[in-house]
Amino acid sequence: MPTASENVLGNILYVAARERVAMYTRQIVEGLGTGVRGGPFEGTKLPEGASWGDGDLAPKILGAYEAELHAHIAKAVSRQPDVVVNVGCAEGYYAIGLARLLPAATVYAYDLSEDAQRVCAASAAENGVGDRVMVKGACTADELVRITKDARHTLIVMDCEGAERELLSDAAVAKLGRCDVIVECHDFMDPTITPTIMMALSATHRVENVTEVAKDGADYPVLRSLNSLDRALIVNEFRPTIMNWLVGWAK
């Protein structure tokens, strides 16, 4: 375990790293604007305002953000859901990106933060999908079931800081058999989350466990003139531990 002095040093380094990322993010926005330049949501205009940290704005602009999921997002879109539910929408990266890719779909975007709701709604309007992105506050398991029960096919994308265990309970999942599910698992908050949700989904879905991998800043041409440490920092999502997602495909 780190000593007290090592913890202090670690905190100093963390603050310095975030400040350096903020500097480069400003430069990226000045040079490239806030449009996503790669990945499944290429062309989406991102808001500069953030409701959570810095909104991972630089990785999102570059198309590096949650690259582990890019192939799964493409597959989910190819299955043409008519309803999309994004729980923990923050600034709307997934809600708005999916609304742009699925012009016939209605998107429900939930977040407890009023700042997130405001930014997401404004960004949806700026991207021309404000009429199809319904921004709301808290989501419950009953709400998930209610808004998906009449859909032909639904995609649920969930990043809700540990609440996923309750939202995807056995009882709820039993009623979500026509829904594809992509859920970020916050096992550092509750180590039972991944095994519990995996077991719940396995009865009705084909389940994949996707693990976070390191990003290589050299993959992004605009960063290649920078040193390796800065490249790594810019595409870093500053996660507290190695994270994973469960992807459940409706059978």
For 139-155, the pLDDT digits (tens) are 999 999 999 999 999 99
User: Does residue 86 sit within a domain?
Assistant: yes
**pLDDT band, very low/low/confident/very high, at 176 (cuts 50, 70, 90):** very high
User: Does residue 49 sit within a domain?
Assistant: no
Q: Which residues contact 22 (CB under 8 A, 6 or more apart)?
A: 54
The kind and range of the H/E element at 210 are: strand 205-211
Bridge partner list, 156: 85, 181
**Closest Cα to residue 97, out of 34, 147, 39?**
39
For 47, which DSSP code?
P
> Is residue 4's pLDDT more than 80?
no
Strand boundaries in 26-132, DSSP class E: 83-87, 106-110
- Contact indicator for 72, 247 with CB cutoff of 8 Å: yes
User: Does residue 28 sit within a domain?
Assistant: no
Q: 127: how many CB neighbours lie within 10 A of its CB?
A: 20
Residue 246 domain boundaries: 66-250
Phi and psi for 46 in degrees, rounded to 5? -95, 145
Rounded Cα distance between 197 and 246, Å, is 8
pLDDT score at 28 = 95
- Show the tokens assigned to 218: 């050299």
> Is residue 6's pLDDT more than 70?
no
Residue 184's identity, in one-letter code, is: E
Phi and psi for 86 in degrees, rounded to 5? -120, 105
For 108, which DSSP code?
E
Over range 81-102, report the average pLDDT: 98
- Show the tokens assigned to 209: 């466990």
Structural domain count, the chain: 1
User: Does residue 15 sit within a domain?
Assistant: no
Over range 101-116, report the average pLDDT: 97
**pLDDT band, very low/low/confident/very high, at 48 (cuts 50, 70, 90):** confident
User: Does residue 214 sit within a domain?
Assistant: yes
User: Does residue 80 sit within a domain?
Assistant: yes
- Contact indicator for 221, 73 with CB cutoff of 8 Å: no
CA distances from 190 to 195, 196, 220 (A): 11, 10, 34
Rounded Cα distance between 225 and 47, Å, is 26
Over range 75-87, report the average pLDDT: 98
User: Does residue 40 sit within a domain?
Assistant: no
| DSSP conformation letters of 167-178 | HT-HHHHTT-TT
Over range 100-105, report the average pLDDT: 98
> Is residue 43's pLDDT more than 70?
yes
DSSP SS3 for 49? coil
User: Does residue 23 sit within a domain?
Assistant: no
Rounded Cα distance between 146 and 164, Å, is 17
CATH code assigned at 73: 3.40.50.150
